[in-house]
Structure 1
Amino acid sequence: MSEAAPAGSRRVVIALGTAQTLAWASSYYLPAILAAPMAAEFGISTSWVFGAFSAALILLALAGPAVGRAIDLHGGRGMLTLSNLVLAAGLCGLGLSQGPWSMAAAWMVLGLGMAMGLYDAAFATLAGLYGRAARGPITGITLIAGFASTVGWPVSALLLEAVGWRGACLAWAALHVLVGLPLNRLLVPPAPPPERKAALAEEAGPAPSRLAMPLLAFVFAATWFIAGAMAAHLPALLQAAGATAAAAVAAGALIGPAQVAARVAEFGLLRRFHPLVSARIAVLGHPLGAVALLVFGGPAAAAFAVLHGMGNGVMTIAKGTLPLAVFGPGGYGARQGLLGAPARLLQAAAPLAFGLLLEGAGVQAALTLTTGLCLSACLALLVLRAVPAEAAPRQVGR
């Protein structure tokens, strides 16, 4: 059964969803538009820029557990507010960089800012505020921030054309200070008082098995590897399967709407069930699309994109709701950091590893790998026990 929406959560969801859209658009989705002009000015290959970005993702993974522990202790409002300043500093560093190494250093600052300000930090903030009732707010912010690439890529492209890549970075930095920081600081409630935090920490059902942590870590690592691989290579994969270049681009454009549609379904219909049910269904989306692509080739490009996008959209929510449902809100932030570290590391390696496999062994081998990972993740989710949620916690916030 779904939890009642906590009092005041709509305001928090809108604020966090908007701030998350800004954070993702100005960091994770930035290289797709600005990597080429950066590389051209510095006389380096775009691979150099993407390598610096991958290093930032590695730092994100390594810093995640410490960020989560800090949010567990002090609440998320301060961390999210500080993330806007760190992301702004990194973007200013990019905009003012004078060569490849200063550019790489700026990306590392952005990596730290991403660890402090992307989904994991927002999810931990909501878990600290609302306990098990955070499932709805978590879904809500992913519904809004699901449009980060839809908003971020065109805005970055317009800024690039108007003021150049340096001006684009500085403009994104200004938005963090003028928009993101006030949203996180003024509209996100502070951490609950100590007695309320203690009550939230005790909201746990039957103790999960010792395998729960490694099983969930594997599920998230497998699905995030696939998400990273598809983000980098989807058009090339579809063309290698027989789709035309135009059809591959058109199919890729369906992923964003498919993700949002699936999140709407999770918010409505699937919200009535345990998050494990949603995750088990979602993780089968990519394999079903892969089978269609292998059997029918290019004409199935759109079907593959939609099925993959829908599964990926719900798994983004599951990254926040599954640990909450299985373990409860106590220690949620630190646990999120630990569960997310392998996933982030594999996500950073996915574009190179999957690209080499696709180029060297072909479509069938590449899709066999991703399908096997998804089916293994589904098996892991079937092994996990669905711990029933207890009564909704007392409402927090206004």
Structure 2
Amino acid sequence: MKTISLSLKETTPSLFTNLGLGAGQILLWGGSYFILSVLSKPIMVETGWTYQMVYGALSFSLAISGLVLPAVGRMIQSLQRNHMLRYTGLVMAGGLTIMGLSKNYPMFLLAWAIAGIAMGMGLYDALFASIGKYFGKSTRNMIVKVTLISSLAPTISWLITSYLLGHFGWRDTCFIYAAALALGILPLHFSLFPPTAAAIDESNKTPQEDAAGPEPKLFLLLISSFTLGAVLTTGIILNLIDILTGKDITMAASLAIISFLGPSQAGVRLLELVMPSATPLKMSVISALAMLAGVILLMAGNSLAIPGVILFGMGNGMRSVVRGTLPLSLFGEKSYAVLIGKLGRWPLIAQAVTPVVAGVIMQKLGSMHFLGVFLAIALANALVSMAIYGAAKKIKENNPPLQQIKQKI
């Protein structure tokens, strides 16, 4: 079997590398996940499609990205050149071009199916896998810095998309964004991710080495934690306005409270840069407990809504980083890209389904019962995170170090 060596694992990423990858993520997130926040209304007005139809296409694309992600991880790990990140801009540009040309709903769905493939190729999971492969020892610090920069994606992309919409209409906005992706992402990622060294022949490995794999219980706990976290953050953040207004908070006050979410997510990532002693294992538990505390405060009373949103935002900000750093900390660098692909599938599929299910819960049961359901999810997430902490400590004590994951798992 041939695998690619991590020839750049001692490389220290430059400021340009971190800024470039962060800027690339802003452009990619803005052209996919966040673009409907601005374009959905004019699309519905012109086409007559319902809210459920338009946002159902986004959910469909998230499910597609989850399905392709394991294959993306394997390709990132095995290919000598990083084709996934390099060409994600071209694929996403194709999806946006078809979206701008859409005359019927099946064509619109096709556009988002292509966008879903691009999201699997180039958003956080694929990026983390690539960083782990090319910059092994610098991965954690690099993930924190890149996610800190890309946390500006909602604000920047909404401003740019709103400007383009106001001057050109939603279809031309899609075309302009597609051109920016096609012309910008390929050269950017081409310069930031040069080829790795030649493949190393591992055919001489012993049967014992080939049989090595991660602790199955720990692997399943990680999948459970990442999936619960995806459901929790998607459900709460998408319905936060309804949660607050359902508690008799005015719309103006609700928007003011929500404004604390973004800075708290970005601020905690900045805090992680000055907290090198906090391991990914500890940060995972702190993240889950912070989100649990945030939901509790949102339930407790209107006067505690602001600290509730801040705590929840801090927990979610840590979670984005932990998704990349915790698997690396537990299982090492060797097959990190494959592992990230496998761990990312179910969270993305769950994230695709959550808006529909959460919307039904909110409509049928109201904000307090909605919070009760998500409090149970937050509690389960915290318990799973603590179980991961305990299991990892036990395995490390009994059998250090943790084995590397193999593609057969």
In the TM superposition, residue 305 of structure 1 has moved relative to its aligned partner by 1.5
Aligned-pair distance for 1:177?
2.1
CA offset digits 1:212-257 (Å, max 9, x no partner): 1110111111111111112321100111123211111111122111
Alignment of 1:204-283 (within 5 A): 208-269=214-275, 271-283=276-288
Identity of aligned residues (%): 31
Structure 2 match to 1:47: 52
Displacement, 1:73? 0.5
Structure 2: 5+ residue stretches without partners: 1-8, 204-211, 402-409
Correspondences of 1:1-398 after superposition (within 5 Å): 6-74=11-79, 77-194=82-199, 208-269=214-275, 271-296=276-301, 298-384=302-388, 385-386=392-393
| Aligned-CA RMSD value | 2.3
Q: What is the CA–CA distance in structure 1 between the aligned matches of 2:44 and 2:336, rounded to whole Å? A: 40
> Structure 1 stretch 189-198 or stretch 283-292: which is displaced more?
189-198
C-alpha distance in structure 2 between counterparts of 1:162 and 1:369, whole Å: 43
**Alpha carbons 2:164, 2:173 under 8 Å: kept:** yes
Structure 2 CA distance for partners of 1:5 and 1:260, relative to 1, 3 Å: farther
Alpha-carbon offset, residue 167 of structure 1:
1.0
Rate the CA distance shift 1:107–1:243 in 2: closer, same or farther, 3 A. same
Q: Secondary structure at the match of 2:23?
A: helix
Query: Matches of 1:75 and 1:47 in 2, distance apart?
Result: 42
Runs of 5+ in structure 1 lacking a partner?
A: 199-205, 391-398
Aligned mates of 2:264, 2:387 — CA distance in 1: 28
Greater CA drift, 282-291 or 53-62: 282-291
Give the C-alpha shift of residue 303 in structure 1: 1.7
* Contact 2:143 2:325 survives alignment (8 Å): yes
Per-residue Cα deviation, 1:114-147 (whole angstroms, up to 9, x for no partner):
1101011110111101224311111111011111
Please report the TM-score for the alignment, with normalisation by the length of structure 1.
0.90
| Deviations 1:42-91 (CA, angstroms, capped at 9, x unpaired) | 12212211111111111000000000000000156321111011011111
Would the alpha carbon gap of residues 282 and 338 (structure 1) be closer, same or farther in structure 2, given more than 3 Å must change? same
Secondary structure at 1:284 match in 2: helix
Structure 1 residue identity aligned to 2:324: G
- Compare 165-174 and 41-50 and name the one that shifted more: 41-50
Deviations 1:123-181 (A, max 9, x none): 01111012243111111110111111011111111111110001111111111122222
1:5 Cα deviation from its structure 2 partner? 8.6
In the comparison of the two structures, how many residue pairs are matched?
379
Cα pair distance change 1:171/1:10, threshold 3 Å:
same
Cα distance between partner residues in 1 of 2:249 and 2:81: 45
What is the distance in 1 between the residues matched to 2:199 and 2:15?
Answer: 24
Out of 223-232 and 70-79, give the one that drifted further. Answer: 70-79
Q: How much does 1:208 deviate?
A: 4.9
Distance 1:185 1:196 in 2: 26
- Equivalent position amino acid for 2:269 in 1: R
CA deviation after TM superposition for structure 1 residue 377, in Å: 2.0
1:396 maps to which residue?
none
* Pair 1:367–1:337, CA change in 2 (3 A): same
Alignment CA distance shift 1:332-1:5 (3 Å): closer
CA change 1:281–1:75 in 2 (3 A) is: farther
